[in-house]
Structure 1
Amino acid sequence: MSLGREQDIEIRTPPRFMPGERVRATHHIKNDGTYPGKEIGENLVRKGDEGYVRDIGTFLQQFYIYAVEWVDRGTVVGMRARELMSLETARTPSSAEIGAGFNKGTAR
């Protein structure tokens, strides 16, 4: 029986971001009372801030929580995937590299 409040369970799929990945905040994030040393409602992260994913955890066995280090602020804040976007693009080899044999997969 469904209560109409079901959400997708993120942890059934791989995380969207990996440790060391550079990310940007897509929302303003305020303290909801879980960040020590800051007042409730105080801004922790501003939309457009850039940081690096340090670690990945889970919440309620449903959601990934990304510990993001905001270097310019000197803080680490737990963020949801919907609050972040990656600043790194997947590197694909150019046709010149493929032709030169850089992508043959041979060990040296």
Structure 2
Amino acid sequence: MSSGVPYNDLVELTSAPAFDFGEKVRANRIIRNDGTYAGREIGDILAKKGEVGYVVSIGTFLQKFYIYGVEFIESGNRVGMKREELDRVVRGGRRPAVAQELSTTIEAEPQAAASALRRSSI
């Protein structure tokens, strides 16, 4: 954001999320495990810079930030990402069939939602 306010001082929750369910995004930096990703060592790479994925969930953190659950295609990892760590691949680049399937399964069956992303062509 170009408001001159440091990102960590912003309260994103006063506006709509920057990304929607099913939207195609790209990691704009290397994302490493900070110790919160189960089954992986601290420091392991979870997403490479430039890796493409789809938003499969939207949550909040510290009552300030949106956290986007992104299912990365190449690595298969689902990683919680801040807006500043992501770039939109194509404006409005949602995949309608996948987005519709995700909306019906994301809460009830998170594994089915991840499978829907893997089944779809890239």
Q: TM-score range by the shorter chain?
A: 0.7 to 0.9
For residues 27 and 74 of structure 1, the distance between their equivalents in structure 2, rounded to whole angstroms, comes to: 17
More strand by share: 1
For residues 90 and 67 of structure 1, the distance between their equivalents in structure 2, rounded to whole angstroms, comes to: 18
Q: More displaced, 15-24 or 69-78?
A: 69-78
For residues 89 and 57 of structure 1, the distance between their equivalents in structure 2, rounded to whole angstroms, comes to: 21
Q: What is the SS of the residue equivalent to 1:11?
A: helix
For residues 87 and 61 of structure 1, the distance between their equivalents in structure 2, rounded to whole angstroms, comes to: 27
Structure of higher CA gyration radius = 1
Match of 1:58 in 2: 60
Q: Structure 2-normalised TM-score?
A: 0.67
Q: Structure 1-normalised TM-score?
A: 0.76
Match of 2:17 in 1: 15
Over the residues paired in the alignment, what is the CA RMSD in angstroms? 1.4
Percent same amino acid at aligned positions? Answer: 49
For residues 91 and 22 of structure 2, the distance between their equivalents in structure 1, rounded to whole angstroms, comes to: 13
Q: What is the SS of the residue equivalent to 2:84?
A: helix
Number of aligned residue pairs: give it.
Answer: 86
1:28 to 24, 27, 30: 30
Alignment of 1:1-108 (within 5 A): 7-90=9-92
What residue ranges of structure 2 are gaps of 5+ in the alignment? 1-7, 94-122
Q: Deviations over 1:20-46 (max 9, x none)?
A: 000000011100000000000111111
More helix by share: 2
Task: Kindly indicate whether the alpha-carbon contact (under 8 Å) linking 2:30 and 2:45 is maintained by their aligned counterparts in 1.
Answer: yes
Moved >6 Å (runs of 4+) = none
